[in-house]
Structure 1
Amino acid sequence: MGHEDFLKQAAEAKTRIKQVSSDEAEKIGDRPNALILDVREAAEYQQAHLLNAVNVSLSQLEQEIQEIVPDKSTPIVCYCAGGNRGALAADTLNKMGYTNAVSIEGGLKAWESSGKATIDTTEANS
């Protein structure tokens, strides 16, 4: 898929899903049964991610999510780097019958620019 097609698909997904601010995402993520889902590639996840985030790349989501989250009413906060893959992930989850999937508007960049902490594994390992 070309970059323009990807951006078009992401824009369409955003019209169908619920996007939340970093503050709202944090509140949802604090619920005991919630899942924070990082849909970036493993290498991106390893550089930095949200506390307690589970990494399932967008390309693997449909194959893996039902094993990780069998309960389709589970609150799921999806995010990526800038908000596009997160939106596509939330849209995919909605199509699969998940009823509480949202995406962080602006992704990890927005989270970090709002002053919220991430787990920076590059620092932790040095």
Structure 2
Amino acid sequence: MMTYDDMLGRCRERVREIMPWDLAERLGTVQVPLLLDIREPFEFQAMHIPGSINVPRGVLEAACEWDFEETVPELVKARNRDVVVICRSGRRSLLAADTLQNMGFASVVSLKTGLRGWNDYEEPFVDGNGKAVGEEDADRFFQPKVRPEQMSVQNSI
């Protein structure tokens, strides 16, 4: 049986990851990559990196192709463009980046440490209305919310 960590490990063998400071540097260049935030819409509405687009991981494959209700033209057209895949922690984005590579996207990376790392690096966020999100609000949003019954110690009793 393969665990979530096993799946992530396999993806890390195939997908290149960049750190938040690498992304901040790339955003200051002429050829800005497509920022693909694959979190759920409510997460994206709360805060995201300015300029990113939201395509939830659950509809990613259909969003990458023409002729589907989920089609996102900007994403379909990005097959030969640099794409940075973003999520909360860098785990979902790793899986999504692997999927994009399998679908023929030529230049895909995952943001290692995700938006938590972006926040730790004190980079800016905006909410769904384009309004800047304060540091304290971002810190609260990224606090772990694992309940006791979700912890492995609890499950082994």
Partner of 2:143: none
TM-score (norm. length: structure 1)? 0.84
Which structure's relative contact order is higher, taking Cα pairs within 8 Å and 6+ residues apart?
1
Partner of 1:52: 51
What is the rounded CA distance, in whole Å, between the counterparts of 2:111 and 2:33 in structure 1? 14
**Which structure is higher in helix share?**
1
* Residues 25-34 or 43-52, more deviating: 25-34
CA RMSD of aligned residues (A): 2.3
Asked if residue 102 in structure 1 is aligned to residue 89 in structure 2, the reply is no
Gaps of 5+ in 1: none
> Shift of the alpha carbon at 1:78?
0.5
Q: 1:123 to 1:29 in 2, by over 3 A?
A: closer
Conserved? CA contact 2:49–2:124, under 8 Å: yes
TM-score (norm. length: structure 2)? 0.69
What is the rounded CA distance, in whole Å, between the counterparts of 1:123 and 1:74 in structure 2? 25
Conserved? CA contact 1:29–1:36, under 8 Å: no
What is the rounded CA distance, in whole Å, between the counterparts of 2:35 and 2:95 in structure 1? 15
Partner of 1:16: 14
Conserved? CA contact 2:34–2:78, under 8 Å: no
SS at match of 2:3: helix
What is the rounded CA distance, in whole Å, between the counterparts of 2:82 and 2:127 in structure 1? 25
Same amino acid, percent of matched pairs: 25
Conserved? CA contact 2:44–2:127, under 8 Å: no
Asked if residue 42 in structure 1 is aligned to residue 37 in structure 2, the reply is no
Gaps of 5+ in 2: 66-72, 133-157
Between Structure 1 and Structure 2, how many residues are aligned?
A: 122
What is the rounded CA distance, in whole Å, between the counterparts of 1:32 and 1:78 in structure 2? 16
Aligned pairs for 1:72-91 within 5 A? 72-91=79-98
